Structure 1
Amino acid sequence: MQRYSLEALARELLERTATSGGGHTVDTVGGGHERVLRQTVIALMQGANLAEHENPAKATLLLLRGAGAVERRRSGLLIVPDTHHSLQALEDSAVLLTVAKLSDGPAFVAQPPPPDS
């Protein structure tokens, strides 16, 4: 089992974001695009914005630090809507995005076992 300090990772990503000039930084802490479950910490500098996009999966957003336009208090958990949505940082912020892909897509087609040799 791997253990992460989300508070430490949020602080590190915010420091990295402040010096990179990109407005936001991300780090996947669990799972990945090839897995059903993925958890990603996203750090956003004040005023940074994740442009409107569609949610192709089930997702939640946990505010770790700062304030966003969709959640203004720390430790707020939001269910991400199945519609177009965006996220704007009202102050330097970090969130934990948890995504569970729906199992009816082509990425989840069972593969036959390899032939016996």
Structure 2
Amino acid sequence: MVNYKNYKVWEKSHHLVLKIYDVTSSFPKSEMYNLTSQMNRASVSIPTNIAEGCGRETEKELVRFLYIASGSAHELDYLLLVAKELGFMKPHISDSIISEIDEIKRMLFSLIKTIKSSLNA
């Protein structure tokens, strides 16, 4: 069992959640149960799955949860594109957040690769 707070990728994804909640708070009220909710849930899923994976018994289980976190990062990436194209976000804000998500995806991939190679050693 590992402390999830020790992972830089968890810290970055936690800050991303706070940013997404701030951004979606200005979305139209008609999107409260649609895009707003979906973006908030996708963002929260990233650090939540990192934390849950760290609480599991094996590294193999941790890797599985890191893959889920990565899937949520990809989902959020797409949702930001939709929000930008619907005019709910300014392009420079959306693009900046997408850059952060890309970094988180790279960090998750690197962590998964590192853990998997230790499993095969």
- Please tell me the TM-score bracket, short chain as reference: under 0.3
Normalised TM-score (structure 1): 0.25
**Greater strand content:** 1
Please state which structure has a larger fraction of its residues in helix.
Answer: 2
